[in-house]
Amino acid sequence: MEVRYSGELAEQIDYIAKGLADLTLSKDNVMAALKAQSTYNYMPVVGYPTYTAFFISTREKPRLDKAYFLDKKIGLLDYPTSRSGHIIPKQMFKRLDLDMRVLDIQYVSSHQVLREKLSSGELDIIATYWQESDESRFSANYITPIGENISGSRWYMKMDVDNTDLACALQQQLQQVAKNNGSSYFDELDLYWQCNELPVYFLGETDES
């Protein structure tokens, strides 16, 4: 088994567009843009829950008005397909009629880096999602929602053949991994395969054992 990890959008797109991945974690808008389902029959196995995007600060509740952002150090993700960390905050700036060129924006590689830079004072505001561990670092009074009901990422499997047993096994495994993560975010996963749970026998066992 070969596992590849990359935060580079171009590499992810190239890998999916060529059908090189047997199992991949991606967003529905990326898969739709690449027509991955019709071209290589990528099918969703497990989907993560919808969530809300926020502006988060450590000093005050962010205000959604034009003047507020002009003197702020803002953190976004350097990942154009990230909705909470890139797409939605940029859409918000556009709605506020803000010229991106006059804003002090720092692009970073991950949501974790955003949080670290906000905690250290390197940034005044970050765009991200809210998670349980944030309660010990930031105040829930200093967050402002900027987008709701955002669809989570999904695990997609390339179905070269109608291998339902493999899809069901992967779904069960991914569900178990999510539960072991320890976050309530993963408690309500979207499961795309209706799988029959069959009894598991050990060697030499039967129904009469």
User: What is the rounded CA–CA span in Å between residue 37 and residue 34?
Assistant: 8
With left for phi above 0 and alpha for psi between -120 and 50, is residue 56 left, alpha or beta? beta
pLDDT at 20: 87
Strand ordering across the sheet containing 42-47: 23-26, 154-158, 42-47, 190-191
Tally the C-alpha atoms within 13 A of residue 39's C-alpha that lie toward its C-beta: 11
The residue among 205 and 50 whose pLDDT is bigger is 50
DSSP letter at 48?
P
DSSP-based three-state secondary structure for 15: helix
pLDDT surpasses 70 at 62: yes
pLDDT surpasses 50 at 34: yes
Do residues 147 and 88 touch, judged by C-beta distance below 8 A? yes
pLDDT at 127: 98
Among the listed residues 150, 138, 147, 122, the one whose alpha carbon sits nearest the alpha carbon of residue 56: 138
Torsion 199-202-205-209 (CA) sign: negative
pLDDT surpasses 80 at 90: yes
Separation in Å, CA 168 to CA 2, 42, 92, 158, 183: 21, 15, 40, 13, 23
What backbone torsions phi and psi does residue 146 show, to the nearest 5 degrees?
Answer: -125, -5
Domains in the chain, CATH or no CATH each: 9-47+152-191 (no CATH), 51-150 (3.40.190.10)
pLDDT at 209: 42
pLDDT at 67: 96
DSSP-based three-state secondary structure for 65: coil
What is the maximum span of the chain, computed from C-alpha positions, in angstroms?
75
The residue among 99 and 207 whose pLDDT is bigger is 99
What is the number of other CB atoms lying within 10 angstroms of the CB of residue 91?
A: 14
128: Cβ contacts below 8 Å, ≥ 6 apart? 53, 54, 56, 77, 84, 85, 111, 114, 115
* Percentage of the chain exceeding pLDDT 90: 53
pLDDT surpasses 80 at 110: yes
What is the mean predicted confidence (pLDDT) over 147-166? 88
